[in-house]
Amino acid sequence: MADTSDRRLSPASLLAHGGGGVDPATGAVVPPIHTATTFARDADYRLTSAAHLYSRDDSDLPRQIESLMARLENGADSRVFASGMAAVAAVLRSVRPGGTIVAQAGIYWGTTSWLRKHCAHAGIALIEADASDTARFCETLRETGPNLVLLEVPSNPWLTVADIAPIAETAHGLKAVLVVDATAATPLLMRPLDLGADLVLHSATKALNGHSDVLAGIVTCRDADSDVWRFIREERHDSGAVLGPFEAYLLLRGLRTLSLRMERMCANAQAVAEMLAAHPAIEAVFYPGLAGHASHEAARRQMTKGGYLMSCLVKGGAAEALAVAGRLTLIKRATSLGGVESLVEHRHTIEGDATGIPVNLLRLSIGIEDAEDLIADLSSALAPLAR
């Protein structure tokens, strides 16, 4: 067998082994679950293991995930959280009262809603700006002088791919921290830290876990000695937004198949997007893998594939869009994304009128099913509108 210890392993190989080897105590190829919350000391009150004091920070499975994610992101350090929103909140709380946050407009509604409430409560100025026009977005940064800039790449549900490198350069010139939520990409499609971001975060609930059975979030930094990373480490520890051992086990188990899942999901999504773009009952498709998408060129520069997430506008209104969703049989009607099963969501039902989401928009998260079966399901659901 070839010796690979002296060379950098590919992401696929790192993932397949969960970023680790065998358990040194037993030789097990799957890491054990330790459920203890506290750890004993000897008669002289020394810790039995210097790395294990209390499980809030001293849990081995989360540490293994963090080490793996830091390697995948080309980052310096990672922290895993109890949910994607817990990770988002920890990062954004790093801005002190009186500070300013510039956030990309048209991103995940949960993030936007939390940001608006938090900033109003904490006395932080919040500016929401369209990131599809890079020059205008950078001008907004120069006009407002933010402490932190938040991008979501690709964005949910519009699949806008902000151009990270020039935004990073502008942000750093203003001494602002650039954060990129890359949930819809994963480190296999895009590495924001390589493009200049200071922090990259993911809702690991989505594609990283990939099985719709775990809530988790992950943040990775470019500089482990930075003030913002020191704050995030302490915030995770002090607020207790940690991941339990069973959830960590499932997340690590999911990560081990991420490479295979993403390959299939992206190929399926490309096929589905092309079919929808040519369908007479569809008004528009938002998918960065399509040449006609407004962010296609930015996606080609930054991403290795178009991803697994897309949105489309059904010709007509809410009734037509909901009828299409209702006729689907293989694709499930549910709120989430990134799982092995394909899901459809009528986003306006979730967000309501205040967010500007069109009533005829359907968001699709494409899974690992056979592409022809997915296309057949969508074709059948759309057929009554094409007559």
Cite the active site residues: 56, 108, 181, 206
Angle of CA points 41, 252, 194, to nearest 5°:
105
For 172, other C-beta atoms within 10 Å of its C-beta total 14
- According to DSSP H, which parts of the chain are helical? 11-16, 60-73, 84-92, 109-122, 134-144, 164-173, 227-239, 245-255, 258-277, 296-302, 318-327, 347-351, 371-382
Query: HSE-up of 38 (CA within 13 Å, CB side)?
Result: 2
Structural tokens at position 23: 């358990």
Q: How far is CA 196 from the centre of its chain?
A: 17
Taking CA atoms, 185 is separated from 153, 182, 286, 289, 296, in Å, by 7, 5, 15, 12, 14
Q: 339 Cβ partners below 8 Å, 6+ apart?
A: 206, 207, 210, 211, 212, 365, 367
Find the helix or strand (DSSP H, E) in which 77 lies. strand 77-81
Taking CA atoms, 373 is separated from 268, 299, 323, in Å, by 10, 27, 19
Task: Specify the amino acid at residue 278.
Answer: A
